[in-house]
Amino acid sequence: MTQGLTPEFMLAAYAAGLFPMASEEVGQDLDWYDPDPRGVLPLDGFHLPKRLRRTVLSDRFDVSVDRDFAAVMRGCASPAPGRETTWINSRIYRIFCDLHAMGFGHSVECRLDGALVGGLYGVALGGVFFGESMFSRATDASKVALVHLMARLRLGGFILLDTQFGTDHLARFGGVEIPASRYKAMLEQAVAMPPRWQADIPPDMLRMEIRNL
């Protein structure tokens, strides 16, 4: 299934509810997943802790989108405490960079004193954002990126944020697991929507949306 892997094939797989992960960093093999239940982060049920809200609104981090997609992917693939291995092999790296070049792959970056210290990346297709991975080299950096992503998706009219699997970390922000059948129905509706991603949302509008989370 991975021999003819192209950006178009990847988009079709996502639209059907499938996503790939590499079994090891070295090598070209990919495994495909369609979990049941499925992890999602409801756009109308996001929980933003007060302390984190203050951090986001303090402008401690310089937050941008799509400024350095490749660097965010490399950050997500780098070893970190508790995550010494990665599922992002060279094949996944290349295909997602291709998706970014085509306007489907997107990143949120957090910088501190000019250095990239956290971020996340994923794929936007119609009204769904497929969250892939995040990383942090400074306290709260990845969390701030997630808050900015949520505000951006809400303002853009997205209806689904796919987190693939449910985790305790995402549950703190309102993440839940839902039956695959329900997810597929939501996915079908979302991918039929016109493109929703907007890279040029005014900062004041984003800030107001964050205050309302």
pLDDT of residue 2: 46
pLDDT of residue 88: 83
DSSP conformational letter for 44: T
Tens of pLDDT, residue by residue over 33-62, are 999 999 999 999 999 999 999 999 999 999
**Confidence (pTM):** 0.93
DSSP conformational letter for 209: H
pLDDT of residue 90: 85
Buried b (16+ CB within 10 A) or exposed e, 71-83: ebbebbbeeeeee
Asked if residue 118 lies in contact with residue 137, where contact means CB atoms within 8 angstroms, the answer is: yes
Tens of pLDDT, residue by residue over 66-115, are 999 999 999 998 866 655 566 788 888 999 999 999 999 999 999 999 99
Tens of pLDDT, residue by residue over 113-142, are 999 999 999 999 999 999 999 999 999 999
Q: Tell me the domains of the chain and their CATH numbers.
A: 7-212 (3.40.630.70)
pLDDT of residue 80: 66
Q: Is the pLDDT of residue 26 over 60?
A: no
Residues 141 and 148: their CA atoms lie apart, in Å, by 11
Residue 125 CB contacts under 8 Å (≥ 6 apart), including other chains: 11, 14, 15, 104, 190, 191
Amino acid (one-letter) located at 55 = T
Where helices occur in the chain by DSSP H, the ranges are 7-15, 50-57, 69-77, 90-101, 141-156, 168-171, 180-191, 203-212
pLDDT of residue 1: 43
